[in-house]
Structure formats: C-alpha cells, structure tokens
A and B are shown apart, each in its own frame.
Chain A
C-alpha cells in the first residue's frame, strides 16, 4: 500500500498561486480569499528597500503520520485513508473545529458549501489516474514532487535520498509528510530557514517514519 508524500523545492516558488486556483478547480473548493486547501505563505524581512527580502513558502496539509487532527475528532470524520492521506468525511463532520485547533499548520478551514471542515486530500481520486496532484501538475517551476514514500523507485524517494530536507514544526512530533528541500545557496538558505530548523537526510529520517507509519497503517480506511 502506498504512502503518499510530497517534496517541495520551495526555492522555485514565485507566488504565482497557480496551485491554489488549480486546487479550487479540481476539488471544487469554496470561493473566498482564505478558503483554500493550498497556499503560498509570504514572509517579509529587513528594514528598508536596500536590505529587505520576501520569502515564499508554498504549503498545504502535511498529511502527518501522527496527525493530531485525527486524534481529536469526536465523530471520526477526520480519518486516514489508504495512502496515508488525512481526509474529512463531510457527512460525519459536526464542525466542532477541534481539528482546526489541533493542527499546527493551520491547514484546515470551514467550507460552507460542503458544510464541513475541509482540507487538502492530495487530490485523491485524481492521482489514481494522473499520477500527480493538480497543484504539482500545474506548477510553473515544478515546486512539488508528489509520490509514494514506500516506492524506492519513485522520484519522490530519489529526491529525498539525494537531497537534504526539513519538515515543518518538527517539535510537534506529528511526522509531517511535506518535505522541504534545502536550497544549495547558503545565503538564500539563511534567509528562508529559521534558526531552529533541523536539516535531515532520508537515511536518518526513514526509520522513524517507517516505524510510525507501520503503527498507524491499521487505522487507514479503505478508500
């Protein structure tokens, strides 16, 4: 059974937000400025025009191996499906918003047209046919590499094995599955990565992820 994840070459992101619109189309997301499953975070730094900088952080749901949003859900609407994808069953959600509180990444929102809490699904239903998500397919600079962590031949695994990466809010122990690739350019690296961020290699992260995934895999629902 596949275990889907994504590697993000975030240094390529130009904030064109093609991914956001592609997602809205593919997944028929509600209209409204902050009603998105996927977004580009913008951080500004520096003091004047001469020394300032702007960073772009493409992001979406991390589909954590130990997803806290699934743990807190009182009805089980938040659940894992095959592929380790975290999903919401709209007919089971009471919009108590506990999952939104539990998510360290603010990846969830209320979609009033579905009348439920909504989030990224890794384009489940699309990827089976196209092999990749809408956001990845449309990206101008190919920020996102979607793939199967369990498949050593996947581009995702090859990328993770050949590059250094980091994950977001590692301290929360959620084992997120968005892997941000460390830029080669040291100046840019310093500009975009906070002090506390730990840099990893797949060889050092794999055992942890594999063990946790093996443990949670029994919870994955048939999709």
Chain B
C-alpha cells in the first residue's frame, strides 16, 4: 500500500493536506468559474427574495412612511419591468434548462458509454472507467445545479415528496435521480474497490442495471419535454430520448477527450483511450447525423435559431468528424463541446420560438396597440447576464466536484 493512503470500506483514500485538496491548479480554475457563478447566484436570489415587487394590495397599503419606496418600486415595475424581470411569460425556459440538459445528458451519456465499454469488457475501460464515470456524475451534478437555479422558489421543493405526482415527467425526476445518483456512485465504488471478489461477482449485473437506468433517465427526459404538447418542436422530435442520448454521447465523448487531453497525457494508456474515444466519437457523430437526416430536422431559418442549428451541425458534428480523421482529437473535442451546447440552446429556445399567442389563427397577438410593433415572428429573449454567469458557475461546480473526488480517491489511477 502506498504511503499516505488509508483504506476504508474497500476504497483507498489519499490522506491529503488542505492545500493539496483545495489549492491546486484545477481547483483554482474551478474557483474562478464558481466565483463568476456566485455573482450571478447572489444577484438572482437577491432579485427573487430581496427585491421590492408590488401588487395592488401593496398599493392600497400605502402610508406616509412607505409611499416613496412604494412609488419607486412601482416605477421600476411599470417602466423597467423588462430589465428587472427574470422570467418573461413568452419564454419560460431558457439558458438554465439548456445548460441542465447539456451537462446532465453529456454526463449521463458518458456514464452510459463507460458502462457499455465495461460490458463489452474493453481493456481500456478497466483503466479509465472510474475516472470517466466520476467525471460524468460530477458534470451531471453541475447540470442539476443549473436546473435548481432555474426554479424561482426552491423552498417549496418538499412538496414533491409530500404530494407525489407520478403523471408528471418532471416529478419523475425525483425518484429517478434518487436512484440514479446513488447507483452511479455504487458503480464507481465497485469499479474501484479493493474487494475484488465481490466486485467481480457484481460487475455484470451492476453494469446491466446501470445501462437500464441510463436509458430510463433519457426516456423520462423525453417524456418531460414531450408533455409540453403545444411546443410542437419538442413533440415533433421522434424518439426524443434517443436524440437526447445520442447528442449527449457526443458531448460526453467531448468531455472525456478534453479531460484526457488535460489530465491523462502522462498515462501509458492515454493513446489507447484517445483512439477508443475517437472511434466512439466518429460512430456517435454518424449516428446523430443519421438521426437528424431520418427525422428530417432541417435548419430552422429564423435568427438566432439558424445560427444555433448550424453551430451545432457544423461546429459540433461536421468539423469534429473531419478533425478526427486527421487525428486532431483535442480540437475536435472542444468543437464538439461547443457545438452540442449550441444544440441544447437550439432545443430549448427553438422549442419556445413559436408564439403561443396565435390563438385565433390570425397570427400572433400583441398585448397592446403598441406591442403590435414589437411582435416578432419567433420568440427569443437573450439570456440575462446573471444567467450566463450562473451557467459558467455550474461548469465550475462540476469541475470542482470531480477534482475533489479525484484528489481524494485518485479515480484516474484505479487499481485494475
């Protein structure tokens, strides 16, 4: 046994100093991202819980003491609502949901792929699976932080437990993730445990169950979006779960390649991992391309969705494919990561693009005479700065979780 390692429950915990754990290059990078996110979080929670918003009841409650404050709050709401309001009614979901799907699907798809590799007993899988699964779950947690930030009032979340709603796709997330997250950690545990006998016995069933849960997750995610029937873009995606899984795999492979390129260069199995990931990348990109072709999702022509679409197709799929063939894996991975984010943005934003206000079949309705001049053929609201800051913070959180687990458990040096 190495020096400075303590064993506990079959896992080797490195005994590291505070400095080693929290003050390393990766963590410092994560802190920068988290600090950016923190600005956004402080702003957004300040807005939600600490800002004066007034209604008619407050107006009636005017007295000599609060009149000025009330008047200023009114003024802000009446003249500057667009600048202070967080959630426009035209477009309820935005960049938080895009980031959530991006990190969560990418991370879960990476876990799925790793489990698949384990199932097929690939040599490289035994070396890298713990690290990649940990990366996957860390990013998924980052994604979940993004969706948690999206909820305007997370204080009431306990009602999901007190008042179960099994018909709701969103409620299904609760049982799903209460199983999924612990289960993934169990999988990682067994990949790394010293109790080899037990691990060997359980490996296959665990991997199979894991794959099942992964698919279930994507399936429920599909339902979640498809329940929003008037959002025709979402309901028009055939087998939405498959789309999520395949595109998630593209992001997941990108994350793995970026991670490997940054942290695993020194490993003797680095080249093998890279080649495997490259092959997987080529296959998934082709699968996604096939999906897009079969489902007939041509480009969406209105800006900014066309930009998102072509960003996704060109940057996320076409260029990486070319780069893979000329073995520029790292660059390909970065492009895939960027391109698939564009895909997520496209999915969420374009899903909201068609105005719901065309109720009488005479075109979208304005809310007032003047609003007529502001009507757009498609709905798109730029994300707030604070939202952008938060999604950066979410990435930082994913990196930090991974790095902490890696420092403590040394997931990148598993004992296979």
Binding site for B on A (CB under 8 A): 15, 24-25, 28-36, 39-45, 55, 57, 59, 68, 71-77, 91-98, 100-106, 108-116, 168-169, 172, 180, 192-197
Checking A31, A74, A96, A102 against B59 with a beta-carbon cut-off of 8 angstroms, the contacting residue is A31
Q: Is B92 an interface residue (CB 8 A)?
A: yes
Checking B86, B351, B372 against A42 with a beta-carbon cut-off of 8 angstroms, the contacting residue is B372
Contacts of A97 in B (CB 8 A): 87, 92-93, 150, 152
Interface of B is mostly: loop
Interface-central residue, A31, A59, A91, A110, by most chain B CB under 10 Å: A31
Taking the nearest CB of chain B, how far is it from the CB of A52, in angstroms? Answer: 11
Interface of A is mostly: loop
Taking the nearest CB of chain A, how far is it from the CB of B100, in angstroms? Answer: 11
A75 and B165 contacting across the interface, CB-CB below 8 Å: yes
A141 to B367, CA, bound (A): 20
Closest to A31 in B: B77
Contacts of B352 in A (CB 8 A): 101
B81 and A42 contacting across the interface, CB-CB below 8 Å: no
Closest to B227 in A: A72
Instruction: Tell me the chain B residues, 141-180 only, with Cβ under 8 Å from chain A.
Output: 150-157, 159-160, 163, 165, 167-171, 173-174
Taking the nearest CB of chain B, how far is it from the CB of A136, in angstroms? Answer: 19
Binds A, one of B198-206, B228-236, B394-402: B228-236
Known: A31-B54, A42-B366. A106 touches B165 (CB 8 A): no
A103 and B366 contacting across the interface, CB-CB below 8 Å: no
A95 to B155, CA, bound (A): 10
Q: Is B357 an interface residue (CB 8 A)?
A: yes
A77 to B152, CA, bound (A): 14
In the assembled complex, 26 residue pairs joining A and B whose CB atoms fall closer than 8 Å, in A order, are: A28-B57, A31-B54, A31-B59, A31-B74, A32-B85, A39-B367, A42-B366, A42-B371, A73-B168, A75-B171, A76-B159, A94-B153, A96-B170, A97-B93, A100-B89, A101-B352, A102-B230, A110-B152, A113-B53, A113-B57, A115-B48, A172-B229, A192-B362, A193-B361, A194-B361, A197-B361
A169 and B230 contacting across the interface, CB-CB below 8 Å: yes
A29 and B55 contacting across the interface, CB-CB below 8 Å: yes
Q: Is B294 an interface residue (CB 8 A)?
A: no
A196 and B361 contacting across the interface, CB-CB below 8 Å: yes
A106 and B366 contacting across the interface, CB-CB below 8 Å: no
Contacts of A74 in B (CB 8 A): 160, 165, 168, 170-171, 173-174
A115 and B360 contacting across the interface, CB-CB below 8 Å: no
B53 and A30 contacting across the interface, CB-CB below 8 Å: yes
A68 and B229 contacting across the interface, CB-CB below 8 Å: yes
Contacts of A111 in B (CB 8 A): 55
A214 to B133, CA, bound (A): 49
A92 to B86, CA, bound (A): 20
A115 and B152 contacting across the interface, CB-CB below 8 Å: yes
Contacts of B351 in A (CB 8 A): 101
A98 to B355, CA, bound (A): 16
Closest to B74 in A: A31
Q: Is B369 an interface residue (CB 8 A)?
A: yes
Q: Is B356 an interface residue (CB 8 A)?
A: yes
Instruction: Tell me the chain B residues, 291-333 only, with Cβ under 8 Å from chain A.
Output: none
Closest to B352 in A: A101
Known: A31-B78, A95-B87, A113-B58. A41 touches B53 (CB 8 A): no
Taking the nearest CB of chain A, how far is it from the CB of B220, in angstroms? Answer: 12
A92 to B164, CA, bound (A): 12
Contacts of B64 in A (CB 8 A): none
